[in-house]
Amino acid sequence: MTKPFCWIETVDRESAGPELAAAYDEVRRGDGGVHNMYRAFATRPDLLVLADRFYRELLHNPRRSLEDWMQELVATWVAILCGCRYAKDNHGANMVSLRGDRGRAMLAALEAGDIPADAGPRAGAILAYARKLTLEPEAMAEADVRALREAGLGDAEIFEVNQIAAHFAYWARMLNGLGVTAEGERIGLYGDAP
């Protein structure tokens, strides 16, 4: 018997009713597969489509300000801070695919709980902000935004850092709370594992 990848009811693509099948068609990967995290939405396909649209607009909209690797860095860091292996594995793999050996070194530092020593002032400030927002949201202050500005970020970039950190805290809690794993799933957008 195959180990379940989620603690609640899921439905595969072949068994999906019309509404769920349409939702799966909208969120499927380039290879036609559906991520396990999306299969956890089987009882609420209406929410699946909304969750995916926000995720894609946030991370893949050409109007975004942050570089792809920086978005993946923030997503990976928040996943690690929340103890979400699913998101850490997927977005860590994406960061490594985009940054190569430097990405591997950054991932190793993050997994050790550290902001990478060679991250530079900009990435270091972003990671410090994301850590505080993830672990101590009640302690956030205007000074945290000022520190990002002093590191060279504009308000659009600051907004995106905030949204990615908050969004991945949501996903980590959703995935961890339902026991979703990457069992049987291809890891990362680019197909490379760290």
pLDDT in tens, 154-189: 999 999 999 999 999 999 999 999 999 998 888 887
Under the banding of pLDDT at 50, 70 and 90, the label for residue 118 is: confident
Q: What percent of the chain has pLDDT over 70?
A: 96
pLDDT digit string, tens, across residues 74-104: 999 999 999 999 999 999 999 999 999 999 9
Which domains are present in the chain? 13-60 (no CATH), 68-173 (1.20.1290.10)
Q: State the alpha helices, DSSP H only, in the chain.
A: 18-27, 36-39, 45-60, 68-81, 85-99, 101-111, 120-135, 142-150, 155-178
pLDDT digit string, tens, across residues 49-80: 999 999 999 999 999 999 999 999 999 999 99
pTM for this one?
Answer: 0.92
Q: Mean of the pLDDT values across residues 131-145?
A: 98
